[in-house]
Amino acid sequence: MSQDLFSARPTVLSVSDLNRSVRELLEGSIPLMWVGGEISNLTRAASGHWYFSLKDSKAQVRCVMFRSRNAYLDWQPKEGDQVEARALVSLYEARGEFQLTIEALRRAGLGALFEAYERLKAKLQQEGLFDATRKRLLPEHPRQIGIVTSPDAAALRDVITTLRRRMPGLPVVLYPTPVQGKGAAELIARAIRTASERNECDVLIVCRGGGSIEDLWQFNEEIVARAIADCPMPVVSGVGHETDFSIADFVADVRAPTPTAAAEMVSQDRSILVAQLNQLGRRLMRQMSHALAERMQKVDYLSRCLVHPGEKIRQQSELLAQVRMRLHHGMQRSLQKAQTGFAPMPQRMQMAGLRSFEIRKLRLERLAQSLQHLNPTNVLERGYSLVQTEEGLVVRNSGDLRIGETLKVTFAVGNSQVKVEKTEPGRDL
């Protein structure tokens, strides 16, 4: 029987083959999962890899997080931290040690917070509170700036220092509120609503310094997001560090990576404005000098064209004297010609002139006699009279008269008024 056992020659695995088979079995049968526990025995190797154990009250497991993965963390874990690890179950073949290969790491409890964050973000986004169309531009030159934060916060000092450096004398109104702790979200929202009701600033900064996700969670609350959305003035959110994103950042008109950056966004740099003003002043002086030089040249040109009134009068006087002299000479020449033309005329021309005069005189006398015959006064001299109505119309027919009508009778000498007592119709001539 023993002889048969030795003759069967069963397959014998090496330790390496065994460990590799176990590793492949573990990695192939157990999916990627989240495991929670407390960090202990944390070691950061020179290679950049992290080695530690995750433990609870009853057990522990070895873990490794390679440099290619831990480089993405924005925080540094330490001994005693309660964490949640996204891990792949595996086996370290060289030692046959069961271990977890960590893909991602977060503080314990962040899973529920992250889910709440995503739910609220999706809800407000669907309502349109994140739309770019509702975002307002920041005023270029605000007259007064409001700040919602804690009076004791380092963020407030950073904002004030930045504003004083960039634009000294710019008025600032603080709306104080706690920025972390129980009930802080309601107080932050109340401070924002106070700023909205008073409406005394041109832009509002809502800010606080960096911290853990729990510290910044007040700015992920719906009450704060809606207070920012309802604010009548532009709102700049400067919460946490550059890598921190809150719901307030998405609702605000502008998101600043830090409180200091928020102060820079809402204020102009006085030194730059002064430099621009000086540049504009120099440009204005150059343009004024150029325009003045052009006007001076134009004045010089016009002055050369301009004649003094006295000189103008003198020139006109000379011209008038010349015209007078030419007129005098012309009249003398004309007179001389006239005298030469009328010097003793022949007798025949004189007789012709006399005959022409006599003929015209006789014609005039005949026309005068004819006109005298047409004179109505001459008719009246022969005993006729002129009868007219009161309106001055000449009466030619007795049938046109009315009994009692007053008539005007004009004689050769004088006139009289008569009344019609009787009319006798006559025949037309």
Give the model confidence (pLDDT) of 6-43 as tens digits: 556 678 888 888 888 888 888 888 888 899 899 999 99
**pLDDT greater at residue 229 or residue 299:** 229
pLDDT band at 315 (very low <50, low <70, confident <90, very high): confident
pLDDT of 353 reads 64
What are 47-72's pLDDT values in tens digits? Answer: 999 999 999 889 999 999 999 999 88
pLDDT of 13 reads 83
Tokens 């999706």 belong to residue: 122
Handedness of CA 132, 133, 135, 138 (dihedral sign): positive
Q: What does DSSP assign to residue 137?
A: P
pLDDT mean over 351-370 = 73
pLDDT of 1 reads 45
Enumerate residues 6+ apart whose C-beta is below 8 A from 260.
158, 159, 162, 238
pLDDT of 2 reads 47
Quick one: what percent of the chain has pLDDT higher than 90?
A: 40
Q: Do the beta carbons of residue 129 and residue 229 sit within 8 Å?
A: yes
* Nearest in space to 158 (alpha carbons), one of 207, 110, 192, 85: 207
Strands 82-92, 33-44: pairing is antiparallel
**Packed helices 110-127 and 222-230: angle between N→C axes, nearest 10 degrees:** 30
Residue 318 clears pLDDT 90, i.e. is over it: no
Handedness of CA 140, 145, 150, 151 (dihedral sign): positive
* Nearest in space to 107 (alpha carbons), one of 130, 138, 136, 75: 75
What are 109-156's pLDDT values in tens digits? Answer: 666 677 788 889 899 999 999 999 999 999 999 999 999 999 998 899
pLDDT of 374 reads 61
What are 364-410's pLDDT values in tens digits? Answer: 777 767 666 666 666 666 667 778 888 878 777 777 778 888 888 88
Tokens 């004819």 belong to residue: 370
CB neighbour burial string for 64-81, b if at least 16 within 10 angstroms, e if fewer: bbeeebbeeeeeebeeeb
Beta bridge mates, 428: none
Q: Where is 254: in which H helix or E strand?
A: strand 254-255
pLDDT mean over 178-197 = 93
What are 267-276's pLDDT values in tens digits? Answer: 988 888 888 8
Residue 329 clears pLDDT 70, i.e. is over it: yes
- Cα dihedral: 247, 253, 259, 265 (round 10): 160
φ, ψ of residue 305 to 5 degrees: the values are -80, -20
CB neighbour burial string for 111-134, b if at least 16 within 10 angstroms, e if fewer: eeeeeebeebbeebeeeebbeeee
Report the alpha-carbon distance of residue 25 to residue 93 in Å, rounded: 13
Question: At CA 295, angle to CA 291 and CA 296, rounded to 5?
Answer: 115
pLDDT mean over 167-183 = 92
Neighbouring C-beta atoms of residue 35, cutoff 10 Å: 16
pLDDT of 242 reads 77
Residue 43 is which amino acid? T
Report the alpha-carbon distance of residue 329 to residue 354 in Å, rounded: 35
